[in-house]
Amino acid sequence: MKIKNRKRGFTLIELLVVIGIIAILAGLLLPTLARAKNKSRDTYCLNNLRQLGIALTLYADDYKGRLPIAARLPSQQSSTNGVVSTNALPPIAEVLSNYVGGSSGVFRCLADKAKRFEKEKSSYEWNTLFNNQWLDRPSSKRRRITINWDPVKAPLMYDYDNVHPGKRGLTTKNVIFADGHVAPL
């Protein structure tokens, strides 16, 4: 009795069915993976702001409870009578450099679509209203604006632009508040 040793391969139909199933699964998984990637970028930016909040606290401890003096837009230039002058205040990234171990990466948000980090050396804007103010004082008066200092509501640093997905399809900014918590605004 002779047994034929025949090799059996995939038919074209079987191969197309497998490819179709893989395509359907990929179509279902890709949006989920994109959302997970965006969520990881948001988490990265929140973590950076937390680190900057710690750096601000360390700075205030070294300077008798006062917050740093830094420029809102470090590279902003003003023109007076045809004379261009650059901002005299240093950027917040330069002021806090020693308090973040010299790492510039903590000032970069991965969701920064306007490439602010490349222009300003920080994806986060410093709230100049609190320049040289006491970290724990109840109020501050500047520029005819009275601020009732509630550390839970006092935003120290935040994203330059609304870049993080929020509720109902809107975008938000991440903010570090004076009490150290970070939240979207």
Task: Read off the pTM.
Answer: 0.73
Q: Is 80 a domain residue?
A: no
* DSSP 3-state of 94: helix
Q: Is 35 a domain residue?
A: yes
pLDDT at residue 107, rounded to an integer: 92
Q: Is 133 a domain residue?
A: yes
Contact assessment for residue 44 and residue 36, using Cβ atoms and an 8 Å cutoff: no
Q: Is 3 a domain residue?
A: no
CA angle, residues 48, 49, 55, in degrees to nearest 5: 95
CA angle, residues 95, 43, 178, in degrees to nearest 5: 45
Could you give the number of structural domains in the chain? 1
Q: Is 49 a domain residue?
A: yes
pLDDT at residue 138, rounded to an integer: 39
pLDDT at residue 58, rounded to an integer: 93
Print the domain residue range for 32.
Answer: 17-75+86-184
pLDDT at residue 100, rounded to an integer: 92
pLDDT at residue 102, rounded to an integer: 86
Q: Is 5 a domain residue?
A: no
CA angle, residues 30, 171, 56, in degrees to nearest 5: 110
pLDDT at residue 76, rounded to an integer: 53
For 19, counting Cβ atoms within 10 Å of its Cβ (0-12 exposed, 13-18 middle, 19+ buried), the class is exposed
Give me the tens of pLDDT residue by residue for the chain, a chain 185 residues long.
666 666 677 789 999 999 999 999 999 999 888 888 888 888 899 999 999 999 999 999 999 888 999 987 655 544 444 444 456 889 999 999 999 998 888 999 888 887 888 888 888 999 888 888 777 663 445 544 455 567 677 888 998 888 777 777 788 888 998 888 898 88
Q: Is 10 a domain residue?
A: no
